[in-house]
Structure 1
Amino acid sequence: MGKALLVIDMQEGFRHKASEAIIDKIAELVKGFDGKVVFTLFVDEPGSMFDTELHWPKFQSKDMQKLLKELEPVAKGKLEAEHKGYTVLTDGLSRMLKENGIDTVYLSGVYTDVCVVKATMDLFDKGFKTKVVADACASLHGDNNHKYAIDSLKHIIGRGNVIETSEVN
């Protein structure tokens, strides 16, 4: 079967020293990955829960929705998948993975403690073998949150499924 690499929400609206710190790792992963690569992009709309409950309309701006400019060269020709909630595993993305015979999904990007954890559990629940590339993930909530999320993920999907970029095959 096949494999896919999801690069989660590496967007201008999430530009932060933590997201900038993993750009090179993600670029390395994308360049060397032998499988489908999908960049997920968070998009918000007026009246959403992010807008009404969190008072966070930032991602209603097209400029904030754009992929980080440093990743544009490696993203050229790769798939993009928009999502409007915490999960990146929309019906469309799930269908695309299945139609392409994907059974193993590698995760990278931001927020380790939010979208990466959510995507990991959703993929696992849908029957995908899921691997989190720890050194290609970051939390904008701080390094401790990233570390706690990685620790938790080792219990959620198994220690052997939380790996480093050097272990991606």
Structure 2
Amino acid sequence: MRKALIVIDVQESFRRREAWQAVNNPDITDRVNTLVAAARADVDLVVWVLHSEPGTGGVFDPDSGHVHLMPELDRRDDEPLLVKTSINAFTTTNLAQLLTQHGIRELRVCGIRSEQCVETTTRVGFDLGYDMTYVVDATATFPIPHPDAPRDRTIAEILADPRTTQADAVVAHTALVLADRGFATVRTVAELVGTMTRS
């Protein structure tokens, strides 16, 4: 059975936000490139996904010039590049059609944010019948402020607030829920690459 690696929202938009200085996995591009190389060695499909928010004027607006892959990533021209406007990679793209065309039923997912677009894609993929693997240390995210906290605080103020959920805790909780509820197998890059190179 052919597999696909789905790389979600590892894009320059995130680095243009102040919150990037608090990202839990600043070397995510290295880990993604490791997965990509292993996927290619296994002749698996690699699909790249970008998030776009047209007309918003923010860093995810295509007019900002930041809606592109981080330049360190090793994408080949023949690998699909999809642009989504929803939280998951299925709803506003032809991802499911693309996977069907290639006869793919097993997906490995990674990217930014761990608990948002990557987790939601994992859950939707599971609901659509795919065998999902969530590559936990090839995801990245940011601290989550308490809902009652003011919205205009600096990242330093957010980090100093004891009510803030720190990024590593977000990642750990996301992985726990996905695995415990049966949505996905959770693997590290090293675990997954070891399995891939033996198959």
What TM-score do the two structures reach when normalised by structure 1? 0.86
1:10/1:68 contact within 8 Å kept:
yes
Q: Spell out the pairing of 1:34-113 with structure 2 (5 A cutoff).
A: 34=42, 35-46=44-55, 51=56, 57-60=58-61, 61-71=63-73, 74-77=74-77, 78-90=79-91, 91-113=93-115
- Quote the Cα distance in structure 1 between the aligned partners of 2:191 and 2:105: 18
Partner of 2:26: helix, strand, or coil?
Answer: helix
Which 4+ runs in 1 deviate beyond 4 A? none
Match of 1:155 in 2: 180
Once the 2 structures are TM-superposed, how far is the Cα of residue 117 of structure 1 from its aligned partner?
Answer: 1.0
- Quote the Cα distance in structure 2 between the aligned partners of 1:157 and 1:69: 34
Once the 2 structures are TM-superposed, how far is the Cα of residue 20 of structure 1 from its aligned partner?
Answer: 2.8
**Segment drifting more, 24-33 vs 13-22:** 13-22
2:152 equivalent to 1:146: no
RMSD: 1.7
Once the 2 structures are TM-superposed, how far is the Cα of residue 62 of structure 1 from its aligned partner?
Answer: 4.8
Higher gyration radius (CA): 2
Q: Deviations for 1:95-137, whole angstroms, at most 9, x for unmatched residues?
A: 0001100010000111011011100110000000000011111
Match of 1:127 in 2: 129
2:113/2:141 contact within 8 Å kept:
yes
Amino acid at match of 1:39: W
What TM-score do the two structures reach when normalised by structure 2? 0.74
- Quote the Cα distance in structure 1 between the aligned partners of 2:67 and 2:179: 30
Partner of 1:69: helix, strand, or coil?
Answer: coil
Once the 2 structures are TM-superposed, how far is the Cα of residue 158 of structure 1 from its aligned partner?
Answer: 5.6
Amino acid at match of 2:84: H
Query: Unaligned stretches of 5+ in structure 1?
Result: none
Match of 1:12 in 2: 12
Query: Unaligned stretches of 5+ in structure 2?
Result: 144-166
1:130/1:157 contact within 8 Å kept:
no
Residue from 25, 28, 35 that aligns with 1:22: 28
More strand per residue: 1
CA shift in 2, pair 1:76/1:2, >3 Å: same
